[in-house]
């Protein structure tokens, strides 16, 4: 553990404490306020007619009967919305050479995936709107469908975007050191081709939006279940030509997001336009099948990779080709190439070899878009690397722990730059490895495994080291021209009754943002946490900032709150010093009382300072202007990202008759720097691991040859349930970043990052006696039986 930021025996020391989330009580009482709950006066409901074809020309649309249905207020096509909304393109400048077609809320003449919204109906109820959809007739002419990666890459094959030379969105290459030379002189080479199926976020609350345009005020208010209200304020303003100050985006309680709800969706843009056309609030909540066919998907990679080692098991080089298919467009405004980019840059990250070559090819296809979802690229990079390390260990004759201990970057060797260009400030692979070994009781697990194998019980043990990207600087999006902030802002006020209110740009989706911000503010100011009120998620109220994504809430938002709280404390003590005729430096605040800094003797409640400043400023010395509201912005500087690291382990049993896998126990040792609330960090890790286990074992968006999603319901698409999930044992190593006072890094992706790698290694370990291997995720029972040649 690192030294605490403030001594834990000091009153109001909240940084490092497991305190429950104040805002969770509402949710437990059923008093959450989700956008899907919202009902506004004169509100209408939108529904969308969707394309049954994966690729087709729109010949004609007949909306007359729908328009005539009683209760229908508007039927809008692509052409109607194109008159008021400017198109968007999902490219960024720093991804050199990437292309993507312009997009509109609804298509004008062509559909490019099955499920794409084509016509919008707005009616007095969702049911009437859906009735009207059935009265719309659209004539389509089928176009050739491009579904899989190979088909999309075929020379002379069908093109998704007319006028383009091929179906390539983006290509990138990395080449560092002397890769060919290293492979030529290697004692051992391991090589594998991996595939990673598409999966999706499956937030329990689907996407929800209520757009409310008031033509009299020229004001657009959007209640939007999103992580990033400021990003959408900017986008709605620019694409609909409304001044930014007249666009307000409110993100209240959100029923899960995981990165999925920060992208532009065609329906959401359409709903804003529909509200503008009608001058009334319009609500749209995706139903579950709509979520499956229109929420972003993630992954869909095929990676061929090889690793060269010397005779002792030292990793010399890696050589990687990542092919990824992203749908027919690149997603706006964050693009669909970030995942592939992170795959090729995170591969090999824990290890110290220097020769690395990677090619990335990002490919269009007729499916819904992919984009950033929890742990973007990490699970793929981690699975590829860690599986190859295990294959190498077997070849060299080393234990999985031993080969990793031999190859990880030493804890005392930082700073380091990876062969892919990432700069690591300080990581702790050695400490984490050691801790995991003890925590798993590894030797005993291996002994038990050997014993059980004699009885025909096949257990597998897998480990996987990972590096996670957190606290992104403008290097992530800003440099590419995206108006996505990497800074955050906070406004902290002392209220007239001596409480503190913090308005902050990071947002809450249940991870505990508001809780940790109130912990930091209370800790730094010196008052009880219940006297700090944190407000998030309203562009009209909170200052502009990046909000919560890519594990930046604690590291960047937390630092913003810390600095704002310190500034307010200085201002409070200045006024206190005037009143008490002391030097500010001789005073401190503890438990809401100004005290003598040396003796801790109580001098004056801060409520009294507030009373005097707000109501009796006449009693303060002439010229005094109390500043009891402080605004502060913080943008990360120093390292472009605060990388974190850790290692996961799991123990599982494979039923070789049925192919079923039972995860028995999962372990993680994680280093996210300063831990603000251990309980909340642990819960992020657990939730992340279970999402990763879902991806590893169950979750896949399956398509037919004609590009139809065939399992778009919660009965068909398997999400992990309690019965299938193990208990998860957690330990921490703390290496705070020196780039901030707080020292916090992110932890939200860590669980997801390595869970599938861990499972992949464990399953392969279990199948070792059969000489069977698996290189494809999700690892379904059918794939296990196929590997065992029993299916």
Partner 1 sequence: MSGFDENLLDEADETVRVRFVVNGRKVACEVAPRETLVDCLRNELELTGTHAGCEMGACGACLVQLDGRAVHSCLMYAVQADGARIDTIDGLSESGVIADLQAEFHRRNALQCGFCTPGMLVNANELLSQVAEPSREEIRDALSGNYCRCTGYEAIVDAIDAVAKARNEGGSAT
Residues of this chain that interact with partner 1 (CB under 8 A) are 20-21, 24-34, 36-37, 39, 69-71, 127-128, 131, 201-206, 253-258, 287-288, 509-512, 679-680, 683, 686-691, 713-715, 719, 721-725, 727-728, 751
Closer CB to partner 1, 447 or 721, in the complex? 721
Least distance from C-beta 126 to partner 1, angstroms? 9
Name the residue among 775, 372, 778 with its Cα closest to residue 787. Answer: 775
Closer CB to partner 1, 341 or 372, in the complex? 372
Least distance from C-beta 127 to partner 1, angstroms? 7
Least distance from C-beta 386 to partner 1, angstroms? 21
Name the residue among 177, 674, 749, 647 with its Cα closest to residue 417. Answer: 177
- Rounded to whole angstroms, the Cα distance separating 324 from 301 reads 4
Closer CB to partner 1, 680 or 772, in the complex? 680
Closer CB to partner 1, 100 or 511, in the complex? 511
Least distance from C-beta 780 to partner 1, angstroms? 19
- Rounded to whole angstroms, the Cα distance separating 22 from 562 reads 19
Whether residue 200 contacts residue 229, with contact meaning beta carbons closer than 8 Å, is answered with no
- Rounded to whole angstroms, the Cα distance separating 251 from 243 reads 20
Tokens 């995860």 correspond to 663
Least distance from C-beta 466 to partner 1, angstroms? 17
Closer CB to partner 1, 736 or 778, in the complex? 778
Least distance from C-beta 715 to partner 1, angstroms? 5
Least distance from C-beta 235 to partner 1, angstroms? 24
Report which secondary-structure segment, H or E, holds 752. Answer: helix 750-767
Q: How far apart are the first and last CA of the chain?
A: 50
Residue 515 has φ and ψ, to the nearest 5°, of -65, -50
Closer CB to partner 1, 24 or 479, in the complex? 24
- Rounded to whole angstroms, the Cα distance separating 213 from 331 reads 26
- Rounded to whole angstroms, the Cα distance separating 780 from 711 reads 15
Whether residue 422 contacts residue 345, with contact meaning beta carbons closer than 8 Å, is answered with yes
Q: What number of H helices and E strands is found in the chain?
A: 20, 29
Closer CB to partner 1, 225 or 320, in the complex? 225
Q: Token pair for residue 707? A: 């590009």
Closer CB to partner 1, 374 or 437, in the complex? 374
Alpha helices, H only, 223-376: 229-240, 266-278, 288-294, 338-346
Residue 407 has φ and ψ, to the nearest 5°, of -110, -15
Least distance from C-beta 551 to partner 1, angstroms? 15
Closer CB to partner 1, 206 or 229, in the complex? 206
Burial 70-95 (b: 16+ CB within 10 A, else e): eebbbbbbbebbbeebeebbbbbeeb
- Rounded to whole angstroms, the Cα distance separating 334 from 264 reads 9
Closer CB to partner 1, 300 or 508, in the complex? 508
Least distance from C-beta 703 to partner 1, angstroms? 21
Closer CB to partner 1, 76 or 202, in the complex? 202
Closer CB to partner 1, 184 or 721, in the complex? 721
- 22 CB-near residues (< 8 Å, 6+ apart): 514, 515, 518, 529, 530
Closer CB to partner 1, 138 or 685, in the complex? 685
Instruction: Determine the longest span between alpha carbons in the chain, in angstroms.
Output: 89
Burial 518-534 (b: 16+ CB within 10 A, else e): bbbbbbbbbbebebbbb
Q: Which contacts qualify for 62-67: CB closer than 8 Å, 24 or more apart?
A: 62/136, 62/137, 62/138, 63/119, 63/136, 65/135, 65/136, 65/137, 66/119, 66/121, 66/132, 66/133, 66/135, 66/136, 67/132
- Rounded to whole angstroms, the Cα distance separating 322 from 301 reads 7
Report which secondary-structure segment, H or E, holds 309. Answer: strand 297-309
- Neighbouring CB atoms inside 10 A of 783's CB total 17
Tokens 């997001």 correspond to 257
């Amino acid at each position: 553990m690192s030294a605490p930021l403030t001594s834990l025996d000091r009153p109001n020391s909240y940084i490092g404490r497991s305190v429950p989330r104040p805002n969770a009580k509402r949710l437990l009482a059923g008093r959450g306020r989700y956008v899907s709950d919202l009902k506004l006066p004169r509100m209408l409901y939108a529904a969308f007619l969707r394309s049954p074809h994966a690729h087709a020309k729109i010949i004609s649309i007949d909306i007359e009967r729908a328009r005539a249905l009683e209760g229908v207020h508007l039927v809008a096509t692509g052409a109607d919305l194109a008159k008021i909304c400017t198109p968007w393109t999902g490219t960024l400048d720093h991804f050199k050479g990437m292309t993507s077609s312009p997009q509109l809320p609804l298509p004008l003449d062509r559909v490019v995936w099955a499920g794409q919204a084509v016509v919008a109906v707005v009616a007095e109820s969702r049911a009437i709107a859906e009735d009207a959809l059935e009265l719309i007739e659209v004539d389509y002419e089928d176009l050739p469908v491009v579904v899989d990666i190979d088909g999309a890459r075929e020379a002379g094959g069908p093109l998704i975007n007319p006028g383009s030379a091929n179906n390539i969105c983006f290509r990138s290459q990395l080449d560092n050191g002397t890769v060919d030379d290293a492979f030529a002189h290697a004692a051992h080479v391991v090589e594998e081709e991996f595939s990673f199926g598409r999966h999706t976020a499956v937030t329990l609350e689907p996407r929800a939006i209520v757009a409310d345009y008031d033509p009299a005020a020229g004001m657009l208010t959007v209640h939007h279940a999103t992580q990033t209200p400021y990003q959408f304020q900017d986008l709605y303003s620019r694409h609909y030509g409304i001044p930014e100050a007249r666009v307000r985006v409110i993100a209240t309680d959100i029923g899960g997001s995981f990165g999925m709800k920060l992208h532009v969706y065609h329906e959401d843009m359409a709903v804003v336009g529909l509200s503008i056309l009608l001058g009334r609030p319009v609500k749209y909540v995706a139903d579950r099948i709509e979520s499956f066919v229109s929420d972003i998907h993630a992954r869909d990679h095929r990676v061929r990779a090889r690793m060269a080692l010397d005779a002792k098991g030292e990793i010399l080089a890696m050589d990687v080709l990542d092919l990824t298919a992203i749908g027919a467009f690149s997603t706006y405004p964050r693009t669909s190439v970030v995942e592939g980019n992170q795959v090729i840059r995170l591969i090999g990250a824990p290890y110290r070899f220097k020769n690395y070559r990677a090619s990335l090819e990002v490919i269009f296809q007729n499916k819904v878009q992919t984009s950033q979802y929890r742990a973007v690229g990490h699970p793929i990079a981690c699975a590829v690397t860690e599986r190859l390390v295990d294959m190498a260990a077997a070849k060299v004759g080393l234990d999985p722990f031993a080969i990793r201990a031999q190859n990880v970057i030493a804890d005392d060797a930082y700073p380091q730059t990876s062969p892919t260009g990432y700069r690591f400030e300080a990581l702790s692979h050695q400490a984490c490895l050691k801790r995991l070994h003890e925590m798993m009781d590894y030797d005993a697990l291996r002994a038990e495994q050997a014993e059980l194998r004699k009885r025909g019980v096949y257990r597998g043990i897998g480990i996987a080291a990972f590096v996670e990207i957190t606290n992104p600087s403008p290097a992530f999006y800003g440099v590419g021209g995206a108006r996505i902030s990497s800074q955050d802002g906070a406004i902290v006020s002392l209220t007239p009754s001596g409480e503190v209110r913090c308005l902050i740009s990071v947002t809450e989706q249940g991870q505990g943002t508001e809780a940790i911000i109130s912990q930091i503010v209370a800790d730094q100011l010196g008052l009880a946490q219940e006297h700090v009120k944190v407000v998030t998620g309203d562009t009209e109220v909170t200052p502009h900032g990046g909000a919560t994504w890519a594990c930046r809430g604690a590291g960047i938002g937390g630092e913003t709150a810390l600095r704002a709280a310190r500034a307010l404390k200085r201002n409070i003590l200045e006024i206190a010093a005037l009143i008490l005729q002391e030097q500010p430096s001789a005073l401190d605040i503890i438990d809401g009382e100004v005290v003598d800094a040396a003796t801790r003797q109580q001098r004056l409640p801060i409520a009294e300072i507030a009373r005097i400043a707000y109501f009796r400023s006449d009693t303060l010395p002439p010229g005094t202007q109390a500043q009891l509201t402080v605004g502060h912005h913080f943008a990360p500087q120093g390292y472009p990202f605060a990388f974190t690291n850790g290692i996961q382990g799991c123990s599982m049993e494979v039923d070789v008759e049925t192919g079923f896998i039972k995860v028995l126990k999962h372990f993680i040792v994680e280093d996210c720097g300063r831990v603000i609330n251990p309980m909340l960090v642990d819960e992020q890790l657990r939730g992340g691991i279970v999402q990763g286990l879902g991806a590893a074992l169950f979750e896949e968006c399956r398509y037919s040859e004609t590009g139809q999603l065939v399992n778009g319901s919660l009965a068909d698409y398997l999400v992990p349930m309690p019965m299938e999930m193990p208990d998860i044992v957690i330990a921490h190593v703390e290496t705070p970043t020196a780039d901030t006072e707080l020292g916090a890094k992110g932890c939200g992706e860590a669980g997801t990052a390595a869970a599938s790698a861990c499972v992949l290694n464990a399953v392969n370990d279990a199948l070792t006696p059969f000489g069977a291997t698996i290189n494809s995720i999700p690892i379904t029972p059918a794939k296990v039986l196929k590997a065992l040649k029993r299916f």
